[in-house]
Amino acid sequence: MSTARELLWMRGGVEFLAVLLGISGSLLIDEWREDRRQHQEQLTILESVYEDILQTEQFITEARMPAFQADSVWMDFFSNRWEDLDVDSVARALSRFGTNASFHNTFLDFREFHPPISGMELIMQDGSLKEIRNPQIRRLINRLIKTDLQFVLKNVQTEIDMQIAFRQTLVDQDDPILARVLSVSQTALQRGFDGDESELGRQAEELQYVLSKNYVRTYLNLKNRNRYFIMIFIRQFGDTLAELKEVVEQELEAGGRGTGAVSP
């Protein structure tokens, strides 16, 4: 009788153990599936971040920096040589740079800075940033967008505000000579950007006029000072971008498991 009870007890224990193992196995499978899902989601996010990095590198090296550097050189040149310029020679030299540097760019325009980082901005807005397990990547993305980019944008906006105020100053002059000097068709503007020598006389006249105005000189000197800091902050932005690129590349090469993710 006791033997029968022992057999029943042992049988019940085996059944219980089987149920327990089944539950544990199911939990392990669920955990593995969840880890795999998170791993794949992290890879998708990292690939999006990497694409933003590549596009932003191209934006900086091929679009923004050449333009910023070209008219920065001219602003610096004018600020330091205002009273000692050969107007005709300067007008001819300016005509060689198209829209990267011209009378219009130097005195009447501003540069904007809108890097293509929509993917990184989105993961910060929707909380997906936390899905990236590598803390260095999270830190660098935060620095890039919340610190480095904000320094650039703040100083670029300062330049834009100065430009708007300067344009208003020109309007308020109510000067018929200024109105005539700045009078130009869009076709003539394009010819000037294309380096057409027929526009050199008009461009020299524009330069001659602004060089005679102290308020123009003050405006350009302030813009030149501000541009110095814009260039510094763009380089800082680029340095952080390069550091982020290196770390993301390492993470992608490791299959997103460089942070200790469980292999399937």
- The set of long-range contacts for 110-113, using a CB threshold of 8 Å and a minimum separation of 24, is 110/156, 110/159, 110/160, 110/163, 111/64, 111/67, 111/68, 111/71, 111/156, 111/159, 111/230, 112/156, 112/160, 113/64, 113/152, 113/153, 113/156, 113/230, 113/234
Residue 264: what pLDDT? Answer: 32
CB under 8 Å to 150, separation ≥6 — which residues?
none
Res. 28: pLDDT tops 80: no
Minimum mean pLDDT among 19-33, 56-70, 109-123, 125-139: which range? 19-33
pTM (two decimals): 0.81
Query: Residue 49 corresponds to which tokens in the numbers above?
Result: 């971040």
Res. 66: pLDDT tops 50: yes
Residue 263: what pLDDT? Answer: 34
CB under 8 Å to 141, separation ≥6 — which residues?
49, 120, 123, 124, 129, 132, 244
Place of tokens 């002059």: 173
Minimum mean pLDDT among 16-20, 45-49, 215-219: which range? 16-20
Query: Mind listing the pLDDT tens digit for each residue in 152-169?
Result: 999 999 999 999 999 999
Beta strands in the chain (DSSP E): none
Query: Mind listing the pLDDT tens digit for each residue in 229-263?
Result: 999 999 999 999 999 999 999 999 987 655 434 33
Residue 6: what pLDDT? Answer: 63
Q: Where in the chain are the domains?
A: 2-253
Residue 57: what pLDDT? Answer: 97
* Helix then strand then coil, % of the chain, to nearest 5: 80, 0, 20
Query: Mind listing the pLDDT tens digit for each residue in 74-109?
Result: 999 999 999 888 999 999 998 888 888 888 889 998
Q: Which tops the pLDDT comparison, 262 or 147?
A: 147
